[in-house]
Structure 1
C-alpha cells in the first residue's frame, strides 16, 4: 500500500472516529500535504526509512487551535494504537521533525498533527493568505513546494478553506506562466550551440555535460507547456514520464544522452526543441515559426530560440511583468535545495533581484 492510502485509512478508521467522540463540535479539515514522496505517488519500500507512515494533518481555525490543538495531541498519544495496518505510527524523524510552533503542533508518538492554515502557508510559502498574491510572490514559490501543497489528498474539509487555498495555488497566473516560458527558452538559447562547440574542439565530456543540462531544460519546459508543477530532481524523470508531451520528446532526449557523437547529440536536442515549439503552437500561446538550422555562421544545429523568447514575452499582458529582465523565477535561477525549501529566503532573494 502506498503512503497516501495508508494515511487516508488512518484518518478514516482511527482519527475521524476518535475526533467525533472526543470533540464532536469541532470543525476542521484533514489532509496529507506538504512533503513526502507519497504525495505524488512515488513512494516505495525505500521511502519507509524516513517520514513515511500513517500521517494526518488537521487544520483548525486560530481560535479552535488555541482551545483544542495541544490537548488533542496529548490525548491522542494516550489512546493511539502502536501500529496501523502493520506500520508503526511513531515518527520517522529524518529530515522533518514533528510540528512544533505557535500555530502548529505534533508529537513523536504518532503522526497526527494540528495546524492553522495560516501557519502552514507561512511555513511553506512565507505568506499567511493566498488572496491577492503578487506576481513577485508567485515567482518566489518553488515549483516543488507548490506541487507538495497542491498534491497529496484532502480527507475532510468542513469550511472548504483548505481546498480553496489549494485551488488558488493550482497553477501560475497566465502572465507569470508566460514569463517562465520566455525564461526557459532563454536558458535553452544560452547553451544550445555549446554542445557542438565543445564537441568540435574535442571536449566530449564537456559536450555531454551541456547536453545533459539542456535535456533537463527541455524536460522542465515540458512541465511548463503542460501546466504542471515540476517535482524536485529525484522525481523529475518519473514526473516527466507522466506528461502527454513526454512520449514525443523522450526518444530525442535519450538519444542526446546516449550518443557518442556530438553531431548526433545536437541533432537530437534540436528535434526535441522542435517538439516543444510544435506543442507551444498547438496550445495556442506565444506562437512562433520554429526554424532549425545553423547557429549564425557556425556549423551547430540550433533552433531560433530568441524568437520563442520574444513570442512568449510579447504575449504577456501585465506591463510590470513584461518589462522584467528575462532571467527567470526562483527555480529557474537556482536549484539549490536550501534556497528552494526556505520560503522566507526564497522571497527575499526574488525581492533583491527585482529591486
Structure 2
C-alpha cells in the first residue's frame, strides 16, 4: 500500500490491526528521511466516519448471534451455546480495541492485549467487561452465560459513550418476548446516523473491515485477498 498520499476508503478497510502493528509497533532508533515516522502518523487510526463504521460492524455481528447463546442453551445444546459465546467474546474484544482507538493484534495476542487494554482503560465499565467475559467463557449453564454476555454488552456501550461515540442505553433488550437477549437496533441506527462522508455512508451496513468480514488467516495475511473482500 502506498502511504505517501491520502489513503482511500478501500485502503483503510483492507487493513488489519496486525498489519498496521507490524509497521507501527515498537521503537524506531533512526529515521533519517522521516519516512517511517510519516507512515506511522498516517496509520495512527481510522478517519472518524470509518471509525464509526467499524464500531457499527462489531455491534451488527453481536446483534446477529447474541440471542443464540440462549436459544442454543434452551434446546439443551450447552456446547453450542459455549461456542457461540466464545466467538462473540472475540468480537467484543475487537470492539473494545476499536472503541479505544487501539489496533487489535491477531488471535495469539488478542486476549493479552484486551486484558492490558482494559486494565489501563480510562473509560468506565472496564472491570465489568473483564469479569463478564470471564463468566461467559467459564459458565456451565446458558442462563449465566447469556446474562454475562448482556452485562459485557451494556458495559461496552457505556465505554463507547465515554469515548465520545454515539451509543444507546440500554444496549440490549429481550428477544421477541423470548427468554433471551438481543442488541437493540437503535445502536446501529445511532452510529450510522452520525456518518457524514457519503462514501462511507454508502458502504454495506454491518460488513465492516476485512478482519471483521473474515477471520481466515490465509486471507488476512495476504493484502491482495484482503482488498478483494472490501472492494466495492
Both proteins in one fold, TM over 0.5: yes
The structure whose residues are more often helix, as a share, is 2
The aligned residue for residue 160 of structure 1 is: 34
Secondary structure of 2:21's counterpart equals: helix
- CA deviation profile, 1:67-88 (whole Å, cap 9, x unmatched): xxxxxxxxxxxxxxxxxxxxxx
Q: How does 1:122-271 map to 2 (within 5 A)?
A: 127-243=1-117, 244=121, 246-271=126-151
- Partners of 1:153 and 1:345 in 2: CA distance: 29
Gaps of 5+ in 1: 1-126
CA RMSD of aligned residues (A): 1.3
Secondary structure of 1:294's counterpart equals: strand
* Misfit runs of 4+, over 4 Å: none
Cα distance, 1:345 vs structure 2: 2.0
Q: Which has the larger radius of gyration?
A: 1
Tell me if structure 2 keeps the 8 A contact 1:150–1:166.
Answer: yes
Cα distance, 1:337 vs structure 2: 1.3
Secondary structure of 2:28's counterpart equals: strand
Cα distance, 1:162 vs structure 2: 1.1
- Partners of 1:152 and 1:185 in 2: CA distance: 31
- Partners of 2:191 and 2:218 in 1: CA distance: 30
TM-score (structure 2 length as normaliser) = 0.93
Secondary structure of 1:302's counterpart equals: strand
Asked if residue 314 in structure 1 is aligned to residue 193 in structure 2, the reply is: yes
Secondary structure of 2:181's counterpart equals: strand
Asked if residue 350 in structure 1 is aligned to residue 224 in structure 2, the reply is: no
Cα distance, 1:291 vs structure 2: 4.4
- Partners of 2:52 and 2:175 in 1: CA distance: 25
- CA deviation profile, 1:219-260 (whole Å, cap 9, x unmatched): 111001000000000000111111116533110000011111
- In structure 2, relative to structure 1, the CA distance for the partners of 1:291 and 1:330 (3 Å cut) is closer
Secondary structure of 2:167's counterpart equals: coil
- Partners of 2:166 and 2:81 in 1: CA distance: 30
Cα distance, 1:315 vs structure 2: 1.1
Q: How does 1:78-89 map to 2 (within 5 A)?
A: none
Higher relative contact order (CA 8 A, sep 6+): 2
The structure whose residues are more often strand, as a share, is 1
Aligned positions, number: 225
- Partners of 1:192 and 1:339 in 2: CA distance: 26
The aligned residue for residue 167 of structure 2 is: 287
- Partners of 1:197 and 1:166 in 2: CA distance: 45
Cα distance, 1:184 vs structure 2: 0.6
Gaps of 5+ in 2: none
Secondary structure of 1:331's counterpart equals: helix
The aligned residue for residue 299 of structure 1 is: 179
- In structure 2, relative to structure 1, the CA distance for the partners of 1:230 and 1:160 (3 Å cut) is same
TM-score (structure 1 length as normaliser) = 0.61
- CA deviation profile, 1:33-85 (whole Å, cap 9, x unmatched): xxxxxxxxxxxxxxxxxxxxxxxxxxxxxxxxxxxxxxxxxxxxxxxxxxxxx
- In structure 2, relative to structure 1, the CA distance for the partners of 1:303 and 1:225 (3 Å cut) is same
Secondary structure of 2:116's counterpart equals: coil
